[in-house]
Amino acid sequence: MRPTFHLKTLVVAVAAFSVASIASAAGLDRSGQDITTFLQDGLYAEAVYTYIDADVTGNDNAYIGGDNNAYIQGNKTGDVAESYDFFRYGVKADINDTFSVGILYDEPFGAAASYSGDNNFVARGDLDATINAASDGALPNYAQAEGQFDALQQAVADGATLTPQQQAQFQALGSALAIAQAEQATKGEGTNVEVRSESITAILGMKLGENKNFQVYGGPVAQRVRADVKLRGIAYGPATGYTSHISPDQDYGWLAGMSYSKPEIALKAALTYRSEIDHKMQIAEIYPVAEALGINPVQSNTMEMSTPKSVNIDFQTGINPTTIATAKVRWVPWSDFEIVPPLYNEVSKGSYGPDGLALVGYDDDQWQVELGMAKRLTPALALSGTVGWDSGAGDPTTSLGPIDGYYSAGLGAKYNVTENWAVSAGGKYLWFGDAKGQLPTKKIVGDFQDNDGYILGVKLSYQAQQNFN
């Protein structure tokens, strides 16, 4: 006869997983958009704090030339990943034995990277080195470039008609000089990016079937996003000195899913789909080299950006009356995601065709898998362990987040302070995948290897049974 796993004896173990269970390295993913709060039984509420510290170091590219794939190990970048933290809150209640409601808050997407030191991602203000890099080694110093440009400019002033070759040279020299001047104007500043988001999800669920084992659920999602980007150093070529501020914007999407539960064996399974959310954002941009191309270098525009859709699968089942196994799977199509600032894109069209370039984009979709087990040791204490894998979103990847997925291992514990109140704590160690950093032009600008990080989390939760008989 198959044993019955009473939920009361297992619930202490379940929630130990979700403290530091998902924290993503692919694309801009952060929280994993967890909805397990809504899948809890009875009245449930939680507050979760997560801290992430990643060590991402590498070397810039010392190669100067026209081969985008060529790489020669250059100077060390130092740690480019800034530590960050975020909160997650949730509350769920049953209206009756059929309907449930929930409110979830999380910070789903983000980025925090900052370069410093002596490398190609920091503006050194070296005019000769900048001209040399901007011309792929054809011009050894600033004085030579300035002399050639002045000679052509004087010829035009004297009424001469430049040949197509001279005209192209004139424009290239003007661009190279503008790049050098932008590099000098931002001397000492490092490349920096910060993206922050917030999300509130309202969920209504309806249980179906004779034993209420099935549930369908869905609801609206409000999402707020803001960002700041600074590109500095000769690694970014004509984009050095580029600065943008994306003002906070709030837009809306939706969530839908279905779940199945079998309490006698502590089985729960859920499939959740989140829609992409389209944002129309106000962006202020400064692009110094644009002036040399006859484009206003300081502009304010409206930019469209869509945060990606996603699919989450959550599963748990009892192994014995004190042990639970869990699995989480997440898919995000980062290959469909782009950030395309209007001025940045307009400047790039002159060299890269009518569509221009996106500031940020990814080649691959993200797959994430996490497996775990939790064991109830005493009536009040449970321990849990997890192992995980994240596919990343492609290698090479953007230099603003040079990580290609990870492997992870984590431990967690939960202690029931009272019958209803509990505190949980957990940690996870991450082994990041090696990645080449590239520009939107596909030029390799850095190599980042042997990196790691860790996650710490703490949670306060409350749970009480609701009886409608």
Please tell me the least confidently modeled range out of 2-16, 37-51, 258-272: 2-16
CA–CA distances in Å: residue 415 to residues 412, 460, 465 = 10, 10, 18
- Indicate whether 19 pLDDT > 90: no
Read off the pLDDT of each residue in 226-245 and give the average, rounded to a whole number.
92
Read off the pLDDT of each residue in 316-341 and give the average, rounded to a whole number.
92
pLDDT at residue 10 in the model: 52
- Indicate whether 15 pLDDT > 50: no
pLDDT band at 21 (very low <50, low <70, confident <90, very high): low
Read off the pLDDT of each residue in 185-200 and give the average, rounded to a whole number.
92
Q: How far apart are alpha carbons 248 and 433 in whole angstroms? A: 32
Residue with tokens 């985008």: 68
Q: What is the CA radius of gyration of the chain?
A: 27
Q: How much of the chain, in percent, has pLDDT values that exceed 90?
A: 53
> Phi and psi of 185, rounded to 5°?
-65, -25
- Indicate whether 24 pLDDT > 60: no
* Cβ-Cβ contacts under 8 Å for 418 (sequence gap 6 or more): none
Read off the pLDDT of each residue in 369-384 and give the average, rounded to a whole number.
90
Read off the pLDDT of each residue in 108-118 and give the average, rounded to a whole number.
90
pLDDT at residue 306 in the model: 95
pLDDT band at 2 (very low <50, low <70, confident <90, very high): very low
pLDDT at residue 344 in the model: 94
Going by the DSSP 8-state scheme, the letter that residue 288 receives in this structure is G
- Indicate whether 245 pLDDT > 90: yes
Strand ranges (E), 152-307? 192-208, 214-230, 243-262, 267-274, 277-286, 298-307
Q: Which residue has the higher pLDDT, 125 or 4?
A: 125
Strands 397-398 and 435-438: parallel
pLDDT at residue 86 in the model: 86
Q: How far apart are alpha carbons 304 and 89 in whole angstroms? A: 29
pLDDT at residue 163 in the model: 82
Please tell me the least confidently modeled range out of 104-118, 137-151, 365-379: 137-151
Helix axes 164-185, 127-134, angle to 10 degrees: 140
- What SS3 class is residue 84? strand
Please tell me the least confidently modeled range out of 148-162, 212-226, 371-385: 148-162
**Rama region for 15: left / alpha / beta (φ>0; ψ in -120 to 50; rest):** alpha
Average pLDDT, the chain: 88
- Indicate whether 325 pLDDT > 50: yes
Please tell me the least confidently modeled range out of 83-87, 88-92, 171-175: 171-175
Choose from 59-63, 200-204, 260-264, 367-371 the range with maximum mean pLDDT: 200-204
pLDDT at residue 22 in the model: 53
Q: How far apart are alpha carbons 189 and 241 in whole angstroms? A: 9
| 8 Å CB contact between 363 and 338 | no
Q: Which residue has the higher pLDDT, 156 or 184?
A: 184
> What's the pTM value of the predicted model, to 2 decimals?
0.89
What dotted CATH number matches 7-125+186-464? 2.40.160.60
Q: How far apart are alpha carbons 236 and 298 in whole angstroms? A: 18
Q: How far apart are alpha carbons 466 and 469 in whole angstroms? A: 9
CA–CA distances in Å: residue 186 to residues 5, 346, 424, 466 = 64, 22, 46, 61
Q: Which residue has the higher pLDDT, 354 or 59?
A: 59
Q: How far is CA 296 from the centre of its chain?
A: 31
Read off the pLDDT of each residue in 267-287 and give the average, rounded to a whole number.
95
- Indicate whether 20 pLDDT > 60: no
> Phi and psi of 405, rounded to 5°?
70, -165
Read off the pLDDT of each residue in 77-91 and give the average, rounded to a whole number.
90
pLDDT band at 395 (very low <50, low <70, confident <90, very high): confident
Q: Which residue has the higher pLDDT, 448 or 150?
A: 448
pLDDT at residue 130 in the model: 78
Question: Is the backbone peptide bond immediately before 140 cis, with ω within 30 degrees of 0?
Answer: no
Q: How far apart are alpha carbons 464 and 99 in whole angstroms? A: 17
Q: How far apart are alpha carbons 437 and 120 in whole angstroms? A: 12
| 8 Å CB contact between 18 and 49 | no
* Cβ-Cβ contacts under 8 Å for 293 (sequence gap 6 or more): 171, 175, 347, 350
